[in-house]
């Protein structure tokens, strides 16, 4: 049986089912999980994708733990109910590190599986998942002193998941960058950053080496005015369609920089903008643990490998296939 399990971020199950429903046959939904026919689809609204799922009968709590331990050491539980029984299975498994990530350190590399008690007598589990952290929840050891706000966590997560980041010698534009959480991250990495925003940078960020700022609209920016531009960051509050127009023009340039852009939804999720962004060659849309009702669009340069392809072999084409029978 060829099927895949997708875990929705908190509160975004409707978005995930709508996104998947256009490319896959959904056969079961038990919050936060969606079971769909066919090979894995890189759904933007999935926090984690279970790449090799299987249903297995379980006679008892101990039996479930035994089944999992026979496969591998590390498991994260995503309960869909039966919370007490699920907790009892977790208690019988080896502990998985709960240590927050440290920005700049590589992601955990040990295989991490996911499981749930689908019902009283059925275990659903996958030894392989798309994300190397439990539930795709990227938590960091936070910096409560340096940055002017918590927006820096979004960029920490995006760069960590990309597996590559700017450094000394890079020229960055940070559009909609005030008060400067992202600029703080980029300058801290040693890059040269120009922030463009109608609002000012926090004076402490503005004083960091390599930081400059321009007061004005991101939509008026011409990248040709920024020679050597290697990365463009976008956290502007605007309708997604305006970002699509900006990016469509930008990606047509042979010198298009690497891109990290927040797609912000005001009210309804704009699925037509999502489709247009998903169609940009070389791009990837993802929901970060630190995104709210937002997605993040990322794109490196042609030929550059990024960390999001860690599981590319398992993330196959989007053609619908046979349905599973959960």
Ligand X SMILES: C[S@@+](CC[C@H](N)C(=O)[O-])C[C@H]1O[C@@H](n2cnc3c(N)ncnc32)[C@H](O)[C@@H]1O
Which residue among 199, 215, 319, 325 contacts ligand X (CB under 6 A)? 199
**Residues, the chain, total?**
326
Give the containing element (helix H, strand E) for 316. Answer: none
By CB under 6 A, residue 218 contacts ligand X: yes
Answer yes or no: are the C-beta atoms of 112 and 133 closer than 8 Å: yes
Beta strand 258-264 with 229-234 is parallel
Taking the complex as a whole, the smallest distance from the CB of residue 174 to ligand X amounts, in Å, to: 7
Answer yes or no: are the C-beta atoms of 286 and 161 closer than 8 Å: yes
Helices (H), 120-210: 152-162, 181-188, 203-206
**Kindly report the CA angle at 108 between 193 and 274, in degrees rounded to 5?**
55
By CB under 6 A, residue 197 contacts ligand X: yes
Q: Which of residues 92-131 bind ligand X (CB under 6 A)?
A: none
Answer yes or no: are the C-beta atoms of 48 and 136 closer than 8 Å: yes
By CB under 6 A, residue 32 contacts ligand X: no
Q: Which residue's beta carbon is nearest to the bound ligand X?
A: 181
Taking the complex as a whole, the smallest distance from the CB of residue 246 to ligand X amounts, in Å, to: 10
**Kindly report the CA angle at 292 between 286 and 294, in degrees rounded to 5?**
45
Answer yes or no: are the C-beta atoms of 206 and 187 closer than 8 Å: no
Which residue among 97, 149, 212, 272 contacts ligand X (CB under 6 A)? 149
Q: Which of residues 228-287 bind ligand X (CB under 6 A)?
A: 235-238
Answer yes or no: are the C-beta atoms of 61 and 88 closer than 8 Å: yes
Considering the complex, state which of residue 55 and residue 265 has its C-beta at the smaller distance from ligand X.
265
**Number of CB atoms found within 10 A of residue 103's CB:** 20
Contact region with ligand X (CB under 6 A), list: 132-140, 158-166, 173-181, 295-303: 173-181
By CB under 6 A, residue 182 contacts ligand X: yes
> Angle of helix 83-91 relative to helix 61-71, nearest 10 degrees?
50
By CB under 6 A, residue 203 contacts ligand X: no
- Which residue reads 């040990």 in tokens? 110
Contact region with ligand X (CB under 6 A), list: 43-51, 101-109, 169-177, 224-232: 169-177
Considering the complex, state which of residue 110 and residue 149 has its C-beta at the smaller distance from ligand X.
149
227: helix, strand or coil? coil
Binding residues for ligand X, how many (CB under 6 A)? 21
By CB under 6 A, residue 198 contacts ligand X: yes
Q: Give dist(CA 137, CA 4) in Å, integer.
A: 19
By CB under 6 A, residue 91 contacts ligand X: no
Which residue among 179, 188, 210, 257 contacts ligand X (CB under 6 A)? 179
Contact region with ligand X (CB under 6 A), list: 82-90, 94-102, 216-224, 303-311: 216-224
Residue 256 contacts by C-beta under 8 Å, 6 or more apart in sequence? Answer: 250, 299, 301
Taking the complex as a whole, the smallest distance from the CB of residue 151 to ligand X amounts, in Å, to: 3
By CB under 6 A, residue 188 contacts ligand X: no
Taking the complex as a whole, the smallest distance from the CB of residue 189 to ligand X amounts, in Å, to: 14
Q: Give dist(CA 224, CA 66) in Å, integer.
A: 60
By CB under 6 A, residue 151 contacts ligand X: yes
Which residue among 17, 164, 217, 318 contacts ligand X (CB under 6 A)? 217
Taking the complex as a whole, the smallest distance from the CB of residue 119 to ligand X amounts, in Å, to: 42
Q: Which residues bind ligand X (CB under 6 A)?
A: 149, 151, 175-182, 196-199, 217-219, 235-238
């Amino acid at each position: 049986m060829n099927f895949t399990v997708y875990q929705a971020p908190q509160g975004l199950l409707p978005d995930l089912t709508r996104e998947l429903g256009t490319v896959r046959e959904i056969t079961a939904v038990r919050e936060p999980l969606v079971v769909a026919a066919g090979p894995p689809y890189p759904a933007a609204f999935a926090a984690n994708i279970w790449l090799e799922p299987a249903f297995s009968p379980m006679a008892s709590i101990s039996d479930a733990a035994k089944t999992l331990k026979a496969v591998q050491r590390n498991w994260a539980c995503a309960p869909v109910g039966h919370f007490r029984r699920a907790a009892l299975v977790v208690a019988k498994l080896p502990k998985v590190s709960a240590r927050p990530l440290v920005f700049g350190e590589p992601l955990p590399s040990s295989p991490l599986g996911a499981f749930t008690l689908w019902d009283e007598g059925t275990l659903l589990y996958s030894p392989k998942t798309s994300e190397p952290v439990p539930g795709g929840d990227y938590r960091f050891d936070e910096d409560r002193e340096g940055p002017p706000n918590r927006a820096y966590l979004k960029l920490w997560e995006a760069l960590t998941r990309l597996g590559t980041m700017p450094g000394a010698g890079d020229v960055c534009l940070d559009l909609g960058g005030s008060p400067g959480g992202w600029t703080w991250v980029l300058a801290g990495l040693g890059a040269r950053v120009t922030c463009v925003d109608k609002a000012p940078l926090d004076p402490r960020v503005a004083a960091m080496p390599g930081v400059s700022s321009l007061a004005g609209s991101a939509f008026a920016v011409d990248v040709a005015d920024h020679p050597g531009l290697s990365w463009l960051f976008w956290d502007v509050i605007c309708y997604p369609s305006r970002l699509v127009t900006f990016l469509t023009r930008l990606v047509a340039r042979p010198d298009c920089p690497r891109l990290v852009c927040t797609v912000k939804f005001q009210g309804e999720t704009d699925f037509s903008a999502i489709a247009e962004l998903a169609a940009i060659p070389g791009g990837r849309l993802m929901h970060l643990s630190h995104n709210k009702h937002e997605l993040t669009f990322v794109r490196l340069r042609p030929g550059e490998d990024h960390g999001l392809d860690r599981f590319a072999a398992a993330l196959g084409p989007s053609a619908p296939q046979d349905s599973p029978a959960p």
